[in-house]
Every structure is written in C-alpha cells, then in structure tokens.
C-alpha cells in the first residue's frame, strides 16, 4: 500500500546580488507546500503555506492527545 500523503514544505530562497563575486541565498517571504496527493499551494506567503501545511496534516492524521 502506497503512502497517500508525503507532505513537503519548501522555503523560497532569494539570491542577493553582489558586486564582489559573492552571492548569498537568504530565506524569501514565500513558501510552498506540496503533497504527493496533489496538494500544491504554489508560492504563497510563508505564513499561509504553513497554515495549509498544518491543516492538511491534521486533516489526514489522527491527533495524538497527550494527557
């Protein structure tokens, strides 16, 4: 039985231009949540991507209630 949901979230990386031969990648303001079931938020504000990620995960997995 195949795994139905493999959730991935990736953070946008911005390459900062530089004049002296150095380049730096820094986290951008966007993120993208994808799942093997077909979910794909596209590049969207990171907070929103994370909300979708969490909502998708809790929808498909039972929550563990700790006393």
Which residues bind to Zn ion, rule: CB under 5 A? 5, 35, 37, 39
* In the complex, minimum distance from the CB of residue 29 to Zn ion, in angstroms, rounded to a whole number: 24
What 3-state DSSP class applies to 35? strand
* In the complex, minimum distance from the CB of residue 24 to Zn ion, in angstroms, rounded to a whole number: 34
* In the complex, minimum distance from the CB of residue 65 to Zn ion, in angstroms, rounded to a whole number: 22
Of 4 and 23, nearer to Zn ion (C-beta) is 4
Of 13 and 37, nearer to Zn ion (C-beta) is 37
Cα(16)–Cα(22) distance, integer angstroms: 9
Cα(21)–Cα(33) distance, integer angstroms: 33
Tokens encoding 13: 């990386």
What's 36's DSSP letter? T
Of 46 and 53, nearer to Zn ion (C-beta) is 53
């Amino acid at each position: 039985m195949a795994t139905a949901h493999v959730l991935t979230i990736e953070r946008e990386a911005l390459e900062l231009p530089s004049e002296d031969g150095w380049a730096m990648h820094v986290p951008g303001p966007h993120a993208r949540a994808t799942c093997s079931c077909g979910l794909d938020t596209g590049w969207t504000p990171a907070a929103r991507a994370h909300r979708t990620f969490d909502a998708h995960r809790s929808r498909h997995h039972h929550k563990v209630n700790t006393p």
